[in-house]
A and B are shown apart, each in its own frame.
Chain A
Amino acid sequence: MQKNLAITSCPHIRSRKTTQKIMQDVCIALAPAGIAGIVYFGARAAAIIAISVVTCVLAELVYEKMMNQRVTIGDWSAVVTGLLLAYNLPSTVPLWIPIIGGIIAIVLVKMLFGGIGSNFMNPALTARAVLFVSWGGLMGTYPITRYMADTVSAATPLAVLATDSASVSLVDLMIGNCPGVLGETCKLAILAGGIFLIARDVLDWKIPACFIGSAFLLFLLTSGFNFDYAVKEIFAGSLMLGAIFMATDYATSPQSNLGRVIFGVGCGLILFIIRAYANYPEGCSFSILFMNILTPLIDRYTAPKYFGEVKQHG
C-alpha cells in the first residue's frame, strides 16, 4: 500500500520542480567550482571527486537494497552529497578518505535518520567534520595550486590574513589561486553557480546573503573599519562554498523567511567567533553544523501565524 501511494501533506500543487530536477540543477551549479579545482590541483582532484560521488551513490544503493527500501538514487541527491564532500577535501588526502567520508555521509547521517529530507545535519559537512577530527593531519594540510611559485609557503590565506592582510591578493582569492580544499578556492566559479541557482529559483538568497553579510560586518567592525581586510576575509576559506551550497540544504535549514535570516546571521556569527578567537583556522563547517542543530528550534519559533489562528494554550 505504502509503495503504491505517495502520501504527502497539502497543498497538492502540480509542479515541474521535482527533487531530481533540483538536484541536477545543483550539480550543474557545482560544476564550475569542480572544474576549477581540477585545473588548480590536477588529476588527483578529479579522482577524489569521482570516488566520492561513486561511493555516495553506491552506499545509498546498497543500504536501500539491504533494508528492502525503495531505491532513491535516481533523485541525484547522493551525487550532490558526493560532490560537496569531495569539494571539502584537500586534493592530497589518501584515496580511502573520500570512501570513508561517503559512507559516513550517506549511511550514518542520511539513511539511518530516514533518507532524503529527514537528516538533521548536512551529510557532507558532518562527514567532513568526522574526517577532520579523526585524521586532522591529512585533512588540515592544504596543497598549493599548480600555478603558485614553489617558494610560497603553503599557509592558507586565512592564516596569513590573521597577521598580514595586505600580502594576500584579492585577485588570487577570487580566481582561486590559493591553497585550500579542492572545491573552495575559486570564488568566482562558486558565485556563478550560486547566481545560477538563484535564477533557477532553486536557492533562496536570504541564507547566503545573511551569512556572508553578517560575517563581513563583524570583521569590518572588529578590525576598526579595515575594508580591505573584511573583504578578503569573506573571500578566503570555505565561507562562499558553505554559504551558497551547504547552509542552504533544504532539509537542514529553516522554512520561514525570518527563520532563514536568523539562520544566516547565526552562521556568520559563529564563523566569526571561530575564525577570530578559536584554535581552528576555519569555522565555516562547524558554524553551519551548529545552526543545523538549531534549525528545528528556529522553525518552531518562527512558524508563520495564519489569519484567524487561535493560540493553543491561550
Chain B
Amino acid sequence: MADQKKSSFISVFLNGLITENPTFTLMLGMCPTLGVTTAAMNGVSMGLATTFVLVCSNLFISLLRNIIPDKVRIPAYIVVIASFVTMIDLFMQAFLPELRAVLGTYIQLIVVNCIIFARAESFAAKNPPLLSIADGLGMGLGFTCSITLLSMVRELFGSGSIFGLRIMPEGYLPMAIMNQVPGGFITLGLMMILVNVIKKYASARKEEKLA
C-alpha cells in the first residue's frame, strides 16, 4: 500500500514535470512565460515563486475541498491563492528587492495565473493533500524548467549572455527583438517544435522496444 502511494506520488510529479508540462503541452501561464523570460535569472525566480504558490494553494485547496461549497469555489480559490501571492510578494520586497523590481507586477499577477487555477480546479479539488502537493511540485518545477530554458535562449541571443555570464564573442551585436514580446513568441514556437520532435522520437523508440 505504501509502495503504491509512493509510486503514484512520483507519477503525478513526473506528469507535471514532463508529460503534461504546463508551458509546452498544456500551454498555460503564457503571460509570465512571454513577459519575464528575457533573462535566465528572471525565469528561475518567476518559476520558483509560482511553484511556491502552486504547492501551497494546492495543499490548502485540497484540504478544504470538502468544505468549500461548489457555487463559490472560484472566490474561495482566489482568497487562498491571493494570500500566498501576497506572502511571496512581501517576502521578495523585503529580501530580494532588486529582483522584485525587475519582475514587478508579474509577481502579483500570479494570482490570476491560469496554471494555478487549472491545477486547483482540475486536480487539488478532487485529490488528497499529498498527491496535490506532488502535482503542485511537478507542475511548478515543470513551469520553472521550461521558462528557464526559454529565458536562457532569449538572454543568449538578446544580450549575449546566460545568467549574466558573457557567452557570445566581443563583437556580437545583440538581437534586440529577443528582448521584446515577438522574440518571446518566436522562441516559444521554435521550442515547442523541438519538444514535439523529441516526444515523437521518444514514443517511436518506445514502440520499437515493445514490438
Contact = CB atoms under 8 A, between A and B. Distances in A.
A171 interface: no
Contacts of A108: 186
A217 B183 CA distance: 36
B186 A133 contact: no
Nearest to A131: B177
B45 interface: no
A134 B176 contact: yes
Contacts of B176: 133-136
Interface of B: 173, 175-178, 180, 182, 186, 193
B194 to A, nearest CB: 12
Q: Determine the main DSSP class of A at the interface with B.
A: helix
A112 B186 CA distance: 12
A43 interface: no
Contacts of B193: 112
Tier of interface size on chain A: under 10
Nearest to A137: B173
A135 B173 contact: yes
A112 B180 CA distance: 22
Contacts of B177: 130, 133-134
B120 to A, nearest CB: 35
Nearest to B182: A133
A134 B186 contact: no
Given A133-B177, A133-B182, A134-B176, 5 more contacts: A130-B182, A133-B176, A133-B180, A134-B175, A134-B177
B195 to A, nearest CB: 15
The 10 A-B pairs with the shortest beta carbon distances in the complex, nearest first, are: A134-B177, A134-B175, A133-B177, A134-B176, A130-B177, A135-B173, A133-B176, A133-B180, A108-B186, A135-B176
Find the residue from A133, A135, A138 having the highest chain B CB count within 10 A: A133
